[in-house]
Amino acid sequence: MPVAIKATAKSRAMELIHQGYVQADISLVCPLCALRFLLLVDLKDRQKQRQLSGETSGREIAFLREKITRDHLYDHEHDLFMMP
């Protein structure tokens, strides 16, 4: 399950990394203000995804990008976005 986390929320990102998440090859950027978010994926999910499609699915990335764009309206008050 991919997670998008603000690049400035390093301590929270480290918590997720200790729980078994790894940083994906791409990062997500708010299209309205260029705030950067790290894309983290569960190590088990990442290995499964590579077998199936080679990378995190476009549908999941599109969902997270939409959440980031909507959050811009609230000055990016959320540090973390997860798939439902």
Domain boundaries along the sequence of the chain: 3-82
pLDDT number for residue 53:
46
Q: Greater confidence, 78 or 83?
A: 78
The Cα–Cα gap between 49 and 72 comes to 29
Tens digit of each residue's pLDDT (9 = 90 or more) over 1-44: 899 999 999 999 999 999 999 998 889 999 999 999 999 998 77
Which pLDDT band holds residue 52 (cuts at 50, 70, 90)? very low
Placement of tokens 């729980």 in the chain: 19
Binning pLDDT at 50, 70 and 90, where does residue 47 land? low
Do 45 and 52 touch, CB atoms closer than 8 A? no
The one-letter amino acid code at 52 reads: L
- Say yes or no to pLDDT of 56 above 60: no
